[in-house]
Amino acid sequence: MARKSNLPLLLVSYLLGPALVRSCSPLPLVINTWPFKNATEAAWRTLASGGSPLDAVESGCALCEKEQCDGTVGFGGSPDEFGETTLDAMIMDGTTMDVGAVGALRRIKSAIGVARKVLEYTTHTLLVGESATKFAESMGFITEDLSTDASRALHSDWLARNCQPNYWRDVIPDASKYCGPYKPKPHSILKQEDPTYKEKDHCGHDTIGMVVIHKTGHTAAGTSTNGIKFKIPGRVGDSPLPGSGAYADDTAGAAAATGDGDVLMRFLPSYQAVEYMRQGEDPTIACRKVILRIQKYFPNFFGAVICANVTGNYALGLSFPSLTFCVTISAFQSISRSTTAGSH
């Protein structure tokens, strides 16, 4: 049912799997993973005030970082094994194909802002770790502790549970029972592991991935996340990797992914979705093909991809039962739709 609103926001909930939702809208278009409505609105306001697609992506992701969306974006969430929160982010201009990204960024709250500076003021694509922090300081960003009482409590509880869950295997002591430090098992006692993929935490991968299509057809995409809880320090997921976390190309469209980054990055799902659209596939089919390809190797994989082409068609593909995501378009509608597994 249509109703009046200052912002043309659709909060869309879908129940399905393996994967597809399809819709069409007039341009411009803003779409992002998960029900991060305030971020969607921030991006839309930036467009409405004359900002570029790149500006819109940055403002949307920046607000999510500030609001600590779901505890999985921005400061104060997902502490690593040492209890530190680090951030990953990426932003891509689909007109110029320029990208800026940061991984394992320490002590800087605005990861998407630093990623934008990498794009604008360097010829590099990705900066990581402490060196990325030094770059951020040179760009005028202030260093501050990213831990909060909540993240410190999460870490303390994890230690009290003998560091469960964690992401180690084939080590001594037994990582399924004890905390580290760990050493590799001798080859003589290694056992053949069950190759079946085991997801650790379905609620720990809520990256914001955002796609913006301007009324002119120009595109941009970006991501921001604090990664997965209790990751091994130094781990970087898919979010800051162009083609994995997000991808944009004015000749076809844009896409962004969310889910288990350690699996997603092996398949470059955002790049692949855009390539399918370049070949003429509808976003629905593009998203579906991407998810099915990953599930061929990892049947229990947890993740989703949003896809939009330059004519305003957009779709969602996901590997799990349900996902809420946000869309803004140039004419307000409110829709809620549910489908059963396997329906189209």
pLDDT digits (tens, 9 = 90+) for 69-126: 988 999 999 999 999 999 999 999 999 999 999 999 999 999 999 999 999 999 999 9
pLDDT for 317: 85
Q: CA 1 to CA 129: how far, in whole Å?
A: 48
* Predicted confidence (pLDDT) per residue in 37-48, tens digit: 899 999 999 999
pLDDT value, residue 153? 97
Residue 113: what pLDDT? 98
State the catalytic residue, choosing from 46, 207, 225, 328: 207
What separation in angstroms does the CA of 109 have from each of 74, 88, 92, 122? 7, 11, 20, 20
Letter for the amino acid at 314?
Y
Q: Rounded to whole angstroms, how far apart are CA atoms 344 and 340? A: 9
- CB within 8 A of 287, min separation 6: which ones? 19, 20, 255, 273, 305, 306, 307, 315, 316, 317
pLDDT (0 to 100) of residue 200: 52
Roughly what angle, to the nearest 10 degrees, separates helices 37-48 and 53-67? Answer: 150
Could you say which residues of the chain have pLDDT below 50?
1-5, 10-19, 194-199, 201-203, 330-344
pLDDT at 62: 97
Distance of CA 98 to the CA centre of its chain: 19
- Axis-axis angle for helices 111-121, 53-67 (nearest 10): 150
Which tokens sit at 267?
A: 């398949």
Q: Residue 307 carries which DSSP code?
A: E
E strand residue ranges, 132-175? 171-172
What is the structure's pLDDT at 326?
Answer: 60
Residue 207 is among the residues annotated as catalytic for this protein: yes
> What structural domains and CATH numbers belong to the chain?
9-145+201-328 (3.60.20.30)
* pLDDT for res 195: 41
